[in-house]
Structure 1
């Protein structure tokens, strides 16, 4: 029985932020070139998926002992979508995506919208610097501000009865609609930020 699905995605990450991060009951999937993170993170994935178009030439030799699922380059899904589907088959509701920031904008936007296909999956997405927390339906979150300077709420669908406190511009039971900048670049004022909403899909984004 696994508690979290961990996806290692291609892209630059800050390895120092993941000390003591991984747990015994994590199910770890390397997504294509994300396999290269596993050595520096001192972890071994349970599975390696993708079309292997973004990994280094010698990776398939170095990591030949990792079970793989190989998919064609010409397909209708992102490699990350294929990996996320494992959460359903493993009955996991919590997912951590590590990496996957920067790079191609089209891939970034696709990852950002992935909640529409996984509306019940609680996702934490980080490269060790920026942190994204999924907002799913009726939810309450307490987030540690750490050294972050900005906290933004980004709706994918309309967010209803949104409240956020311990920030410079608190909100109380407001409606946030996609495409507006009203909830961008707030600032933490306390160690812990309190957030709640009644309905909708979106993200909280914490940046320096």
Structure 2
């Protein structure tokens, strides 16, 4: 199958096989995006009213009814024994098509916490090395990379519970517009200092050096 041509729409939604709650917020985040499904993530397409342009995976455990309902979607088949996950294959397909922004739907929840951790680490790598904007979401939780440079200003409603998860020692971390603000503090890797904060108006988070992820939880 030929790779899709690049165009001006550089925003992609990747449907992954984790848990997903189809909230209005999530629907607005994927509205107008190009869509790629990763194996069992196809099950989320109908709930989000999305039509994937391609379905990527090894399909070794995909239910027959899901295959039957979506037989019209072009498939990119891969062997079950491979060096990358179905989700990463879908992301690679989007990047080959010119993606500059990714919404990884179903990347936060499910029975495999190792997959969730990988998705966060992949997002950190893509943002740090390729300047790709990445949002991970289950509908009820979101995560995004926090790297040095431009401040993060998430559009979370006031009262949103959020944490800054350090993946390295953090230097000069500043949090404004939150119940527990911080001013250019040092945070050790593994510290709980930045666990369970609450957003207020004008949330702004700035990191001097280090690598972290922002994780937010929503009441639905």
TM-score bracket for the superposition, by shorter chain length:
0.7 to 0.9
1:27-46 equivalences under 5 Å are 27-46=34-53
Which of 40, 50, 57 matches 2:57? 50
- Matched residue, 1:132: 143
Q: Runs of 5+ in structure 1 lacking a partner?
A: none
Which of 163, 171, 181 matches 1:170? 181
Q: Judge conservation of contact 2:101–2:133 (CA < 8 Å) in 1.
A: yes
Give the TM-score taking structure 1 as reference length: 0.88
Q: Runs of 5+ in structure 2 lacking a partner?
A: 1-6
- Structure 2: distance between partners of 1:69 and 1:148: 42
1:66-145 equivalences under 5 Å are 66-100=73-107, 101-118=109-126, 119=128, 120-145=131-156
Shift of the 177–57 alpha-carbon distance from structure 1 to 2, 3 Å rule, reads farther
In the TM superposition, what is the alpha-carbon distance from 1:116 to its structure 2 partner? Answer: 4.9
- Structure 1: distance between partners of 2:137 and 2:159: 13
Give the TM-score taking structure 2 as reference length: 0.83
Q: Judge conservation of contact 1:6–1:29 (CA < 8 Å) in 2.
A: yes
Which of 185, 192, 217 matches 1:207? 217
Shift of the 183–21 alpha-carbon distance from structure 1 to 2, 3 Å rule, reads closer
- Structure 1: distance between partners of 2:133 and 2:29: 17
- Matched residue, 2:4: none
- Structure 1: distance between partners of 2:39 and 2:94: 17
In the TM superposition, what is the alpha-carbon distance from 1:126 to its structure 2 partner? Answer: 1.0
- Matched residue, 1:183: 194
**SS of 2:119's equivalent?**
helix
In the TM superposition, what is the alpha-carbon distance from 1:156 to its structure 2 partner? Answer: 2.1
- Matched residue, 2:202: 192
- Structure 2: distance between partners of 1:200 and 1:169: 20
- Matched residue, 1:14: 21
Q: Judge conservation of contact 1:113–1:156 (CA < 8 Å) in 2.
A: no
Q: Judge conservation of contact 1:49–1:79 (CA < 8 Å) in 2.
A: yes
In the TM superposition, what is the alpha-carbon distance from 1:135 to its structure 2 partner? Answer: 1.6
Shift of the 192–13 alpha-carbon distance from structure 1 to 2, 3 Å rule, reads farther
Cα deviation per residue 1:2-47 (whole Å; 9 max; x = unaligned)? 22121111133221333444343x2211011111111121110111
